[in-house]
Amino acid sequence: MEIPSFKEDHISHTPKGKIILNPELIKSPKGCIEYVIIHELCHLIHHNHTQKFIDLQINEMKDWEKWKMKLEKLLA
């Protein structure tokens, strides 16, 4: 895991599976941070937003939609 300085995204990952966090994410509530990390970890298994991806994300974080919406409001 790496924490670089970048402006647009709050997180990304490389093709080799390295997760890169935006340091600004630390200002978000814990649930938002967990959502973002779980979302990217799910992408290591399913590379797009298919139903299998969504099912995995729900399995790992039942209330992910709540935290996604909260994060989107914070970033608006």
Strands in 1-76 per DSSP E: 11-13, 19-21
Could you list the residue range(s) of the whole structural domain that residue 34 is in?
A: 11-75
- 5 assigned to some structural domain: no
- 42 assigned to some structural domain: yes
Number of domains in the chain: 1
Number of C-alpha atoms within 13 angstroms, CB side, residue 63?
A: 9
Q: Has residue 7 got a pLDDT over 50?
A: no
pLDDT at 9: 58
- 4 assigned to some structural domain: no
Average pLDDT, stretch 45-63?
Answer: 96
End-to-end CA distance of the chain, in Å? Answer: 26
* Cβ proximity of 45 and 9 under 8 Å: no
Instruction: Write the single-letter amino acid at 7.
Output: K
- 47 assigned to some structural domain: yes
Q: What is the pTM of this model?
A: 0.79
